[in-house]
Amino acid sequence: MAIDKSFFTTAVHAGAHPEQVTGAVMPPIFMSTTFAQEAPGEHKGFDYSRAGNPSRDGYEEALSALEGAKHGLAFASGLAAEQAVAQLLNPGARVLVCDDVYGGTGRLFRKLYAKYNLDFNFIDMTSLAEVKAAAAAGPVDLIWVETPTNPTMKIIDIRAMAKIAKDKKAILVVDNTFATPLFQSPLKLGADIVVHSTTKYIGGHSDVIGGALMTSNDELHQQLRFIQFAAGAVPSPFECFMLHRSVKTLAIRMTQHEKNALAVAEFLSSHKKMKKVYYPGLAKDPGHNLAKEQMSGFSGMVSFDHTGNYSEVVSFLKKLKVFTLAESLGGVESLVNHPEKMTHASVPEELRKKLGIGHSLVRLSCGIESADDLIADLKLALE
């Protein structure tokens, strides 16, 4: 699939309107919690910033434009956005979740929501047969897909999941954090709701925690907007300003992230200390053909299995100078993560084993530095 070039223009202009009183091209940050009313209930469209704020409005308009959605909602974190989706469910609801989700997503469902009599079934969604069997086993209210998955970069067929969701009258949610709206448009492939940790590529500078939901379904939007207001996990006007600023460079950053990731993945593929490299941009990757069909780029995340034991892996991690050992991803600076001990420590051990999240798995978030410097750093640390 080819990149939609108009995305570069949308990213710069969406929701960015000059301020009405002064004409300021960059509107001020509306650091006000409340707004004067002429008479009770008579105001200029804003009454209290948990319900709405001009800085959030512009940013939410940009979020919806990025995903080609009718509506965008901003949240205080990716998990806060996910929680709003969980709050759509009634007790007794059954949810199919792809097994290789971000550790915190699994923890949210297992530890906080399962106790409300919600049934979360974690399944390998790269196997259509497995999803169909799970769907046939009972009613399904929601299907939760993350693609590419974190951290093993599995690619899940969004169109196929949309068909199953439609048959079961279930809501299809796609976490589009890894792909970003530049490279993947889940709503066009049949998803009902897109979720983002905007902490990652949308923010892009590792300096704001945030989340977002986008949908073109008016009824779901009404419900989610009510949850956003009534539960209150909203970002501050300052965070909205920062994230809206970041959106403008998303397309250009992603292009460089992807270029670097491909170079890094190719370098690693031919290195003798690699057992396996996970990157959908590699022709030999099991998700490559599907990724080419439903994505217009492979993004900037690469994982690999090191041939060494745990202490050799730690020694490799310590030797890196350009890659910083830290949780998170999607910033302009390259990061390296050890999923077993860090981001996915909360995944039940048995599932970690099944997914291949062990001592030798390393996840790279390739930044926008020079690819040569990234490869030189890896090469030296692997010696």
Identified binder of ligand P1T from the candidate list 102, 279, 304, 316, rule CB under 6 A: 102
Residue 199 binds ligand P1T (CB under 6 A): yes
- Judge whether 59 counts as a catalytic residue: no
Residue 104 binds ligand P1T (CB under 6 A): yes
Q: Which of 4, 47, 50, 163 is catalytic?
A: 50
Q: How far is the CB of 32 from ligand P1T (least distance, A)?
A: 25
User: How far is Cα 330 from Cα 210, in angstroms, rounded to an integer?
Assistant: 13
Sign of CA dihedral 62, 66, 72, 74: negative
**Of the ranges 71-79, 83-91, 186-194, 346-354, which one interacts with ligand P1T (CB under 6 A)?**
71-79
Burial tier of 22 (Cβ tally within 10 Å: 0-12, 13-18, 19+) = exposed
Q: Which of 94, 200, 253, 352 is catalytic?
A: 200
User: How far is Cα 295 from Cα 285, in angstroms, rounded to an integer?
Assistant: 14
CB 341, CB 352: distance < 8 Å: no
User: How far is Cα 131 from Cα 253, in angstroms, rounded to an integer?
Assistant: 35
Residue 53 binds ligand P1T (CB under 6 A): no
Between 123 and 376, name the residue whose CB sits nearer to ligand P1T.
123
Q: How far is the CB of 323 from ligand P1T (least distance, A)?
A: 14
**Of the ranges 43-51, 112-120, 171-179, 348-356, which one interacts with ligand P1T (CB under 6 A)?**
171-179
Q: How far is the CB of 327 from ligand P1T (least distance, A)?
A: 4
Q: How far is the CB of 1 from ligand P1T (least distance, A)?
A: 21
CB 250, CB 180: distance < 8 Å: yes
Q: Which of 102, 113, 201, 278 is catalytic?
A: 102
Identified binder of ligand P1T from the candidate list 58, 186, 211, 280, rule CB under 6 A: 211
CB 286, CB 349: distance < 8 Å: no
Q: Which of 175, 285, 305, 377 is catalytic?
A: 175
Residue 77 binds ligand P1T (CB under 6 A): yes
Residue 146 binds ligand P1T (CB under 6 A): yes
In terms of Cα–Cα distance, which of 184, 150, 178 is closest to 297?
A: 184
Residue 78 binds ligand P1T (CB under 6 A): yes
User: How far is Cα 362 from Cα 283, in angstroms, rounded to an integer?
Assistant: 21
Amino acid at 205: H
Residue 293 binds ligand P1T (CB under 6 A): no
Residues numbered 320-359 forming contacts with ligand P1T, rule: CB under 6 A: 327-329, 337, 343
- Judge whether 50 counts as a catalytic residue: yes
Between 177 and 216, name the residue whose CB sits nearer to ligand P1T.
177
CB 302, CB 291: distance < 8 Å: no
Two tokens, residue 33: 């919690």
Two tokens, residue 122: 């974690």
Q: How far is the CB of 15 from ligand P1T (least distance, A)?
A: 21
Between 168 and 200, name the residue whose CB sits nearer to ligand P1T.
200
- For ligand P1T, how many residues bind (rule: CB under 6 A)? 20
User: How far is Cα 361 from Cα 94, in angstroms, rounded to an integer?
Assistant: 31
- Judge whether 102 counts as a catalytic residue: yes
User: How far is Cα 232 from Cα 235, in angstroms, rounded to an integer?
Assistant: 9
User: How far is Cα 128 from Cα 123, in angstroms, rounded to an integer?
Assistant: 10
User: How far is Cα 269 from Cα 69, in angstroms, rounded to an integer?
Assistant: 37
CB 343, CB 103: distance < 8 Å: yes
User: How far is Cα 192 from Cα 172, in angstroms, rounded to an integer?
Assistant: 5
Identified binder of ligand P1T from the candidate list 64, 184, 197, 206, rule CB under 6 A: 197
Interface residue list for ligand P1T (CB under 6 A): 77-79, 102, 104-105, 146, 150, 175, 177-178, 197, 199, 209, 211, 327-329, 337, 343
Which residues are the active-site residues?
A: 50, 102, 175, 200
